């Protein structure tokens, strides 16, 4: 195994509010790390720090052996290696699905149109949406739009994918179709950091669980152990509010 991402002694605050307090993490290539924790504990902020979108006060984030520094020029190069999918899909409303997934690769990666379209169609097919290539976002359901957003991220050939509660805004019947796409990515051995409140999904997909609370990593370990017999009282309390198979 080889390390792809390392976070060392990361501290992040917004003015007086300390949000992340000495976070350490090493992620191996192909590893799926699921991050859970109460609302407001800093999960989104953590992903944003990894993606170079937030200035940090102490510590550092390394992708391979390159330091991600949001204040420094060239961060965009790092950011290209990291794909992020959010709760809101942010597709361009006046562009078709095919255009939404092929514009950035042409602009940023200088890919040829034919070439980008060929790959986009393959990926859209993989998520069951090839037939919707000429549709506009408004013609798609939330679950379909989120699958397009995942394809759009994949088109940039990221080394790591970050998912921030990508099913939280979806109607229940659409959650499964999006989670299945992410499970498929795990089978392809993609490196992923996933923030989710879907505990059954987390248990099924995670190689490793990170439980954040109060700005710190409270548990970091095996999903089976975490979900079936959490070590800390805080994790027990957090997990008691969710329904999932505990055996
Ligand atoms: P989570 O994703 O775990 O719900 P967040 O990372 O969104 O938590 O937020 C962590 C804390 O940081 C919260 O208290 C939130 O209010 C605060 N916070 C997040 N973003 C900002 C910001 N841009 N300015 C000030 N406070 C923020
Ligand atoms: Mg969040």
Tens digit of each residue's pLDDT (9 = 90 or more) over 44-71: 999 999 998 899 999 999 998 888 877 6
Q: Decide if pLDDT at 76 tops 70.
A: no
For a mutational test of ligand 1's pocket, the pick from 10, 11, 13, 14, i.e. the residue with the most ligand atoms closer than 8 A to its C-beta, is 14
Using DSSP, state whether 188 is helix, strand or coil: coil
Is the pLDDT score of 75 beyond 70? Answer: no
39 lines ligand 1 (CB under 6 A): yes
Name beta bridge partners: 21.
11
Q: Is the CB of 14 under 6 A from ligand 1?
A: yes
Judge if the beta carbon of residue 41 lies within 6 A of ligand 1: yes
Is residue 10 within 8 Å of residue 20, measured between CB atoms?
yes
Residue with tokens 């970050």: 162
If pLDDT is split at 50, 70 and 90, which confidence band does 41 have?
very high
Which atom of ligand 1 is least distant from the CA of 42? 6
> H-type helices in 108-161, by residue range?
113-126, 142-154
DSSP 8-class letter at 164: E
* Among the bound ligands, the one closest to the CA of 42: 1
Measured CA to CA, the distance from residue 85 to residue 91 in angstroms comes to 11
Q: Cβ distance 72 to 44 under 8 Å?
A: no
Does the pLDDT at position 74 exceed 70?
Answer: no
pLDDT in tens, 202-237: 999 999 999 999 999 999 999 999 999 999 999 999
- The C-alpha atoms of residue 77 and residue 63 are separated, in whole angstroms, by 11
Cα gap 75→70, rounded to integer Å: 6
CA distance 220 to 193: 13
Q: How confident is the model at residue 112 (pLDDT cuts 50, 70, 90)?
A: very high
Q: How far apart (Å, rounded) are the C-alpha atoms in residues 167 and 146?
A: 8
> Span 169-191, mean pLDDT?
95
Question: Is the predicted pLDDT of residue 91 greater than 60, yes or no?
Answer: yes
pLDDT at 239: 96
Ligand 1 neighbour 19 (Cβ under 6 A): yes
Stretch 189-206: mean pLDDT, rounded?
96
What percent of the chain clears pLDDT 90, i.e. is strictly above it?
87
Cα–Cα distances (Å) from 5 to 30, 46, 57, 147, 244, in that order, read: 11, 13, 19, 25, 30
Report the alpha-carbon distance of residue 93 to residue 30 in Å, rounded.
33
Ligand 1 neighbour 16 (Cβ under 6 A): no
How many Å apart are CA 9 and CA 26, to the nearest integer? 11
Q: Which tokens hold the place of 244?
A: 């999932």
Q: Given this model, what pLDDT does residue 70 score?
A: 72
Considering only 2-11, 76-85, 114-123, which range has the smallest mean pLDDT? 76-85
């Amino acid at each position: 195994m080889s390390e792809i991402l390392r976070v060392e002694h990361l501290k992040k605050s917004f003015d007086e509010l300390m949000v992340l307090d000495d976070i350490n993490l090493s992620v191996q290539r192909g590893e799926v790390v699921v991050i859970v924790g109460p609302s407001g504990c800093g999960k989104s902020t953590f992903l944003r720090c990894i993606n170079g979108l937030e200035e940090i006060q102490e510590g550092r984030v390394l992708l391979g052996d390159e330091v991600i520094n949001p204040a420094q020029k060239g961060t965009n190069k790092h950011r290209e290696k990291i794909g992020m999918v959010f709760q809101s899909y942010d597709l361009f409303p006046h562009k078709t699905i095919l255009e939404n997934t092929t514009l950035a690769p042409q602009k940023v990666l200088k890919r040829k149109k034919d070439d980008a379209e060929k790959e986009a169609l393959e990926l859209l097919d993989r998520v069951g949406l090839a037939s919707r290539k000429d549709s506009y976002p408004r013609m798609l359901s939330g679950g379909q739009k989120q699958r397009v957003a995942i394809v759009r991220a994949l088109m940039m050939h990221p080394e790591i994918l970050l998912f921030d509660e990508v099913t939280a805004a979806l109607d229940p019947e659409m959650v499964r179709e999006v989670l299945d796409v992410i499970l498929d990515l795990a089978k392809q051995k993609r490196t992923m950091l996933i923030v989710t409140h879907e505990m059954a999904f987390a248990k099924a997909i995670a190689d490793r669980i990170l439980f954040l609370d109060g700005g710190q990593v409270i548990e970091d370990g095996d999903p089976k152990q975490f979900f079936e017999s959490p070590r800390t009282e805080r994790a027990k309390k957090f997990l008691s509010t969710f329904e999932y198979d505990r055996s």
